[in-house]
A and B are shown apart, each in its own frame.
Chain A
């Protein structure tokens, strides 16, 4: 809500020249949803502080048509009180000359590093004080951050994600402003407007001279461009030039590998079953289908998912709209749910459920069983799920916690087999099990698989 910049280099009032704002006045600039006020709480030759105060119109914010939908999907929002993307916009509006390194009256000041102290109120930081430090300290800032309880009456609710931040550095004002401009929304990891190609240009322009060397440049880029895949990659590639683009989720490489192993295991099993029509129930973005479509023996491939958005992605990744009509008939995507009986699922040789069952509340499994084994009733059913025992090998996973926040349960090998045996008996299938991934002698594989064959 408030950004103050204080200079103590004699004569401190030079700050007024650099910012192109007269210390004795209160000036205002218009923003898309409100105003920003610029004034000087103090302006002496020893200490001069410029304040940029946001005056966001909370009613207009929600009512304005151009704003991002987030403002509408909640009742009240914090935007009028925080220092986030509106603050970046205000900096660009109010201090544009200074940020661009222009100073009409004292051009020589532009490239002089000044001892500057910045205060930001209620800066939302996703990632906490640690991330705040990792973002600013490599750039030479001394960081102090204060937060508070969410609500003093209810200490059990924990602390807020807002920080009142003080940053001290000796630095050219133009760099300070550019860094604030980029890093404020990066801290928040949210923006009030849509991100487009124009944003990428801005990032490259404002980041020149400091972002290239920043240890967190990938995170900054990603967050600044709000995690939109292709744009981020393009920007990263341009930013890193000769370096190879890095996988966005470096930390989860292990998990990714496991998923590939899992899909390959399913594919290999399918190839041994002589199935020519396969339905992937819970196909997500269609990774397995992409793997299977390389094999001519699969004459008909269908993917079903409950998430319409995943299906749209799958359609894109499978390039369904570019296929000729025969190829198109071979691959179909369906929107559907395994908790309902579905006539469209009948008539397949094999059905596959890769890491699907654990996303259903356990009492709903009976519906899934009937949908798959009673009504669709393919010759083969392959089901994989995580092996809860193996979680002991994931050091950062607390006992009793799940690998994924949407997992409703995670089974041990014995639990999985008890379930599988019962299902097989009830619906007249035979079943066998195998581990997936690198097998731990005591704990089994990280994932487990059951293959059911109709009697």
Chain B
């Protein structure tokens, strides 16, 4: 629609438009802009000139000023904001660039022409001290303006307003902003979104009936719609939403048209156009269209239609809007889908995309253009429901779903209920047409049947500085240097990101203890939780093995379905940096199978209504994973000390025997020799040879997630009890973790925690972990530490060195700073939970991987490794 008017008091423009003010200097553009638009909506080239040169009239700065203005406008349009360009814009070539920008961001360009006389302009310009224009400037501008006026429509403006006198300009009272036709954000459903019908009238009626609608099939009208709950919590009649391609190929296109036209005109349904509908319109409009791809059938079926009916079909299709933005922008319906940058926008390109989607420009072996699967790269917030490309089954991919299940090709007609997100299908009564290429054919993938497999991660979402929002904590910033480190570690050493749905957070130790001879002690852990206002904690034995995340699926099919992995077995065991725990694939397979058998035996899968589980666990012995670390570091230190000490002591003894005053030294080195012996004994506790699966022990302590659920709302005691049931399934391999619930502030109960710790550590254990009784605990400042470790006296010897407990060393070691470690633990904890929540909510692989990648990146922050 385009028109010129000069005397209206009330005008309206699209809510998302690029408004170009056009008029000579002094025509009153800035005043006009200020009257009707917010200051932030106006991008003035004068202002930009001032910004780059300190002088808004400096013509030398024009090129830079325009570049800046262009940049500002582009950023605003990208973010979907109405923008007004305040510049003379009197030459077509100066407008061209803005039109191009509007097209790039699929925004409607609007021209507002302030076509006032040179006289008026000159008088105004003379009143301004800062503006000195030559006498020829304004007349020149006016002549350029007049020359171009006729061509404005061809230039691409959708709306043109022109005022020819200051009086007309001041007559304008309001400029209303109209929502775009595609904006139906106020509709919150419930909807039943229906795939490509293609003239399958019987199936459409059956599907609607199945969904609870009452249809008068004879008269193609809707009698009654079922009630349902919208996403805003209000009960309304359900509304069918057709994704287009109502016609062609099938046996009863006119009936389908009639029913949908009736429903839409009564406000009972919504419909977006498909490419077949658009082609039918062109045919009806007398355009030269080839009668093929099923159009020939529709034309034949319409042979007896009255001219009035055909006219109503034309009006109906012509009136369809390319796509709809529904439910506060959380739902988008378009025939061929729609990428994020085009949602809620209007342009030829948007319309084209909605009808046809994207192609790569290549032709496949069936002579058809190769489709580019835009959904693979989709990472928008809105769910996109679409059709156009027939698929064997409707599956979510990156929050998008193709519900064209090829009814006309003998498949099924599918509906997606929203907001429930449940799928309903009715099978085709027969195959009405043969597809040009096999359904589900995908040039780039051997396993296209599964959309999960198709997911990819865009490195742009990982590189550089990233800010991740988490539901249980603040936003978390990943610094660029840490992303750099994580990229290398992740891509060179980690397992397939499809498996990597979680990484465990680091854990802080207690504050240093002042108990003589101790660096860590439960008293400090209890103090921390008491000060955080926690009433009850759980104390769990800390096993000295390696942290392991274990994912087990019931079978390979479940692994493909839930994780999108193909030919990668039924599970994984990975370390806290995402590396495969086992180097021996066969051993890993056997290990996972053992856990799977235990899960099956104990009825886990049925009880949790799932076909997979992700467990957080400790895998022992330590020596199984840390063998090279042991040999190169721990045992090496022991060996160096053990080899040297006897020689040192012998030489000191000899000196003392020869009356050299070296007694004190001798004493000191005898003590050191004993300390190194204790050190060797300490690490030996955690080592045993592994010759077969039976030599491993797996001690799970969290059930992290199963299908569609996480368990962070369950207290730790629940986790321990459920895990005990699993452990009963394989007592050889699976190991129960001793635990005790302790009332904070209760002297007797606290004493039991201390005794438990002393018992564990005196037997050579690593120590214990103290956690709030509930998994997720916050105070007024946010999350509190989800766990604190309290390590045993002897264990710490292998952390801080053989001689750490000499009082002069302890003194210094107690001066350790925990704040960095604790902040890191909270950030990693929040990201880990976020990652799990995203995974079970079936968010995209990229959304999940960003969190896991973030944890790995955080791990590269410099923190004292002994904490």
Contact = CB atoms under 8 A, between A and B. Distances in A.
Interface string B652-678: 101100111110010010000000100
A58 B655 contact: no
B799 A76 contact: yes
A149 B680 CA distance: 13
A271 interface: no
B665 A335 contact: no
Interface string A162-183: 1010000000000000000000
A40 B658 CA distance: 9
B639 A308 contact: no
Contact of A156 (B634, B645, B647, B689): B689
Contacts of B288: none
B484 A2 contact: no
Contact of B633 (A40, A75, A80, A335): A75
A37 B864 CA distance: 31
B643 A41 contact: no
Given A121-B648, A122-B644, A162-B640, A342 B460 contact: yes
A76 B801 contact: yes
B443 A59 contact: no
Given A24-B660, A156-B689, A337-B491, A42 B654 contact: yes
A364 B660 contact: no
Interface in A374-408: 374-375, 377
Contacts of B227: none
Interface in B475-519: 484-485, 487-488, 490-492, 495-497
A232 B716 CA distance: 58
Interface in B687-725: 687, 689
Contact of B639 (A42, A53, A73, A151): A151
A63 B804 CA distance: 13
B444 A76 contact: no
Nearest to A366: B566
B568 A363 contact: yes
B818 interface: no
B640 A76 contact: no
A217 interface: no
A306 B630 contact: no
Interface stretch (B451-459, B586-594, B779-787): B451-459
B211 interface: no
Given A75-B866, A77-B633, A158-B631, A335 B444 contact: no
Interface residues of A, number: 76
Contact of B492 (A42, A82, A359, A367): A359
Nearest to B653: A41
A133 interface: no
B651 A2 contact: yes
B491 A151 contact: no
Contacts of A122: 640-641, 643-644
Given A4-B651, A40-B658, A150-B631, A164 B643 contact: yes
Q: Chain A contact residues: over half helix, strand or loop, or mixed?
A: mixed
Nearest to A305: B488
A426 B444 CA distance: 6
B865 A148 contact: no
A74 B444 CA distance: 46
B487 A335 contact: yes
Given A76-B633, A81-B637, A162 B647 contact: no
Nearest to B496: A363
B568 A426 contact: no
Given A58-B809, A151-B635, A151-B638, A1 B648 contact: yes
A153 B634 CA distance: 14
A74 B459 contact: no
Contacts of B362: 428
A169 B642 CA distance: 27
Contacts of B801: 58-59, 75-77, 80
A150 B644 contact: no
Nearest to A338: B491
B636 interface: yes
B659 to A, nearest CB: 8
Contacts of B799: 75-76
B491 A26 contact: no
A341 B458 contact: yes
B662 A119 contact: no
A41 B651 contact: yes
A125 to B, nearest CB: 12
A237 interface: no
Contacts of B495: 361
B570 to A, nearest CB: 14
Contacts of B221: none
Interface string A310-347: 00000000000000000000000001111111110000
Interface in A269-314: 306-308
Interface string B556-581: 00000000000110000000000000
A132 interface: no
A39 interface: yes
Scoring B488, B680, B803, B809 by chain A CB atoms within 10 A of each residue's CB, the highest score goes to B488
A409 interface: no
A343 B460 contact: yes
A41 B639 contact: no
A300 B634 CA distance: 51
A43 interface: yes
Given A41-B652, A51-B655, A307-B488, A76 B637 contact: yes
A165 to B, nearest CB: 11
Given A306-B491, A426-B446, A162 B648 contact: no
B798 interface: yes
A59 B651 contact: no
A154 B665 contact: no
B444 A2 contact: no
Contact of A335 (B463, B490, B634, B676): B463
A339 B488 CA distance: 11
B556 to A, nearest CB: 14
A124 interface: yes
A359 B488 CA distance: 12
B680 A151 contact: yes
B610 interface: no
A129 B654 CA distance: 29
A53 B648 contact: yes
A267 interface: no
A59 B797 CA distance: 12
A23 B680 CA distance: 36
A427 interface: yes
A340 B491 CA distance: 8
Nearest to B815: A63
A160 B631 CA distance: 8
Nearest to A377: B360
A137 interface: no
Contact of B463 (A23, A83, A164, A336): A336
Contacts of B659: 24
B639 A160 contact: yes
Contacts of A43: 658
Interface string B827-867: 00000000000000000000000000000000000001110
Interface in A226-277: none
Interface of B: 360, 362, 364, 377, 443-446, 456-460, 462-463, 484-485, 487-488, 490-492, 495-497, 567-568, 630-631, 633-645, 647-648, 651-652, 654-655, 658-662, 665, 668, 676, 679-680, 684, 687, 689, 798-804, 809, 812-813, 864-866
28 contacts: A1-B644, A2-B651, A42-B655, A42-B658, A43-B658, A59-B813, A75-B798, A76-B637, A76-B798, A77-B637, A81-B644, A122-B641, A148-B639, A150-B638, A154-B635, A160-B639, A161-B636, A162-B636, A335-B463, A336-B463, A340-B462, A342-B458, A363-B568, A364-B491, A370-B444, A371-B456, A426-B445, A427-B444
A-B residue pairs, 4 tightest by C-beta: A337-B491, A160-B639, A340-B459, A41-B654
Given A160-B640, A335-B484, 9 more contacts: A4-B651, A37-B665, A41-B655, A75-B801, A76-B679, A83-B644, A119-B647, A335-B487, A337-B490
